[in-house]
Structure 1
Amino acid sequence: MENQVEQENTELPFVREQHANLLLNLDKTLDSDAIGQYTNEHLKLPGGYWCLGALYLLNKVPQSRQQEISQFIKACQHECGGFGGNIGHDPGLVNTLYALLILAMYDSLESVDLEKMATYIASLQNEDGSFKGDYAGEVDTRFSYSALSALKLLGKLDLIDRKKARDFVLRCHNIDGAFGGVPGAESHAAYTFCSIGALKILDDEDLIDRDKLGAWLSKRQTLQGGFNGRPEKLPDVCYSWWILSTCFMIERQQWIDFAGLKDYVLNCQDPENGGIGDRPGNEVDVFHTFFGLTALSLMGFYDLEKIDHVYAIPVKVIQKHFPHIYN
């Protein structure tokens, strides 16, 4: 009993307020003359998704900025219906999904043309069922997931060939039970999330061996408590989401050491200034802060807003704007 009390007293704190303060002031820390301003220019819309999503989980969404941010998202939409990562940037599938999720979290879906959005997404499906990320033609399962996720939320899956979309994802399935980004590619945790997410959205996740995949996923948990994305790699906080959410999708989350994963995420915090990095002691960033918080939310720690393990937005947002998902 004494050892248990001592362990509880030495547990790392979850620095909620520091995280919120960092996120709320994120765009105030950018120096217009700094090289980071230019190297991250194309990530402004994705950064908005990670930042707003993290603030939503912390129940700290700045409602005063709703109109400003919604207008920015609208300005990123092209005539074709797709969205760029910033104003004036080329449209792409992943950024189009991010735009949809941001607008849903900000209750501003009516501010853009959703019909054009759906038509643009469907136009990127190839004859073999895969999806191009943009006009340049790159293909992998990130784009399959992004397209299917957005179209499912919009109620527009009928615009594409669902069977071909499924079959392309299944061709990325490997002998170890996990998935690569394209057929024949090495299994990777993030591509496995995209593949299982795509199959889940299509109601085809039962076509894979859940135990075999669950074993591969659970073996990604390292002695430090965090996950790596492939065998023999270092752990990284972002895989806390890619792997844990996939385990929830195949109902194998009980194979994961929640306490160990929680401790790893907490060890990656900056306890003074807030934010979460990829590994303990490394620089924090909004990407890893979001994915660290999503993992803690999935595990039910610290009274965070509950996130949906397929669509990566809070459950209450889906209930409000996309109720057909749960019906």
Structure 2
Amino acid sequence: MGELQVEKHVKYILAVEKRKDDFESVVMEHLRLNGVYWGLTTLDILGKLDAVDQDEVISWVMQCQHKDDIAGLQNEDGSFSGDMWGEVDTRFSYIAICSLALMRQLDKIDVGNAVKYIVSCKNVDGGFGCTPGAESHAGQIFCCVGALAITGSLHHVDKDLLGWWLCERQVKSGGLNGRPEKLPDVCYSWWVLSSLILIGRVHWIDKEKLAKFILDCQDKEKGGISDRPDDAVDVFHTYFGVAGLSLLEYPGLKPIDPAYALPVSVVNKVILGK
């Protein structure tokens, strides 16, 4: 099946973090905070979080905090806008619900209305879209199913129908795609797999073939994981590849929570105080 190149992936992530002034980093500045999340979570899953200066990271992240509160972005129909400009998407519903749950502040929003909006985005194929009537997509399905799981509302999901749609995302290579007739992509090793776990249908796919697909997407010389074998690596796919392997219980990796997309140890500490 191959072996996860742990040390090389750690070196790759640390090298990406140091390249703050090159062209690629500048044009992707709007995703830099996302990159911090992807990189740090990968390191934690690999058991290598001590490789970074945590005080420096915390200081930088705190500089990114905006004065507005998350709760102020909820709309009357229960949906959430991404920012002051008003774009609505179920991604923002998940982010709001997940973030507030981690801060133990879900009472700051209308949870019932938020759930009602998410359910309104459910389609006849069992999947979910970004807004009501929008096409089912594996990424949006995770956002909706994850949010419903966090709020204790998974009874709104047709688990067999959705499970069938999700398991059909596996292609011959073992990888998963996000929609019918699309190429497989390592990131769907998270979006699809986590959703299947949350609804109890993960046994409907070939987990061993999926693990092999992820491992085949590694740069075994320089580290990092790409979307497909032999493509350029990036920290986004490195995180989702490692997270997918964690869900598949790959040896030596910390378990990750399929709803919160964080190591189980972090979720337990933040929410349960353990």
User: What TM-score do you get using the length of structure 1 for normalisation?
Assistant: 0.81
Q: Deviations over 1:259-310 (max 9, x none)?
A: 0100100111001111100001000000000000001001111210111010
Moved over 4 A (4+): none
Q: Percent identity of the aligned residues? A: 48
In the alignment, what sits opposite 2:229? 280
| SS of equivalent residue, structure 2 residue 53 | helix
In the alignment, what sits opposite 1:14? 4
In the alignment, what sits opposite 2:24? 36
In the alignment, what sits opposite 1:102? none
Q: Which amino acid aligns with 1:17?
A: E
Equivalent position to 1:169, from 107, 110, 118: 118
In the alignment, what sits opposite 2:214? 265
Q: How does 1:177-256 map to 2 (within 5 A)?
A: 177-256=126-205
In the alignment, what sits opposite 1:58? 46
Equivalent position to 2:240, from 270, 285, 291: 291
In the alignment, what sits opposite 1:23? 13
Q: Which amino acid aligns with 2:64?
A: C
Structure 1: state its 5+ residue gaps: 1-10, 81-119
Q: Distance in 1 between matches of 2:25 and 2:255?
A: 32
| Match status 1:76 vs 2:64 | yes
| SS of equivalent residue, structure 2 residue 12 | helix
Per-residue deviation at 1:13?
A: 2.4
In the alignment, what sits opposite 1:158? 107
Which of the pair has the greater relative contact order for Cα pairs under 8 Å at 6+ separation?
2
Distance change >3 Å, CA 56–CA 147, structure 1 → 2: same
Q: Distance in 2 between matches of 1:281 and 1:27?
A: 23
Q: Distance in 2 between matches of 1:181 and 1:45?
A: 22
Larger of the two Rg values belongs to structure:
1
Q: Distance in 2 between matches of 1:128 and 1:323?
A: 31
Task: Tell me, yes or no, if the aligned pair for 2:123 and 2:129 is still in contact at 8 Å.
Answer: yes
* Count of aligned residue pairs for this structure pair: 274
Structure 2: state its 5+ residue gaps: none
Q: Distance in 2 between matches of 1:157 and 1:184?
A: 27
Q: Deviations over 1:3-23 (max 9, x none)?
A: xxxxxxxx3222111111111
Distance change >3 Å, CA 223–CA 153, structure 1 → 2: same
In the alignment, what sits opposite 1:138? 87
Q: Distance in 2 between matches of 1:214 and 1:178?
A: 9
Q: Distance in 1 between matches of 2:86 and 2:238?
A: 31
Per-residue deviation at 1:31?
A: 6.9
Q: Deviations over 1:56-109 (max 9, x none)?
A: 0111113651111101011111233xxxxxxxxxxxxxxxxxxxxxxxxxxxxx
Q: Distance in 1 between matches of 2:267 and 2:20?
A: 36
Q: Distance in 2 between matches of 1:307 and 1:288?
A: 16
| SS of equivalent residue, structure 1 residue 282 | coil
Task: Please report the RMSD computed on the Cα atoms of aligned residues, expressed in angstroms.
Answer: 1.4
Q: Distance in 2 between matches of 1:202 and 1:37?
A: 36
Q: Distance in 2 between matches of 1:307 and 1:287?
A: 16
Q: Which amino acid aligns with 1:61?
A: L
Q: Distance in 1 between matches of 2:52 and 2:126?
A: 46
Q: Deviations over 1:7-60 (max 9, x none)?
A: xxxx322211111111122223x273x421321111111100000000001111
Task: Tell me, yes or no, if the aligned pair for 2:20 and 2:26 is still in contact at 8 Å.
Answer: no
Per-residue deviation at 1:319?
A: 1.6
Q: Which amino acid aligns with 1:179?
A: F
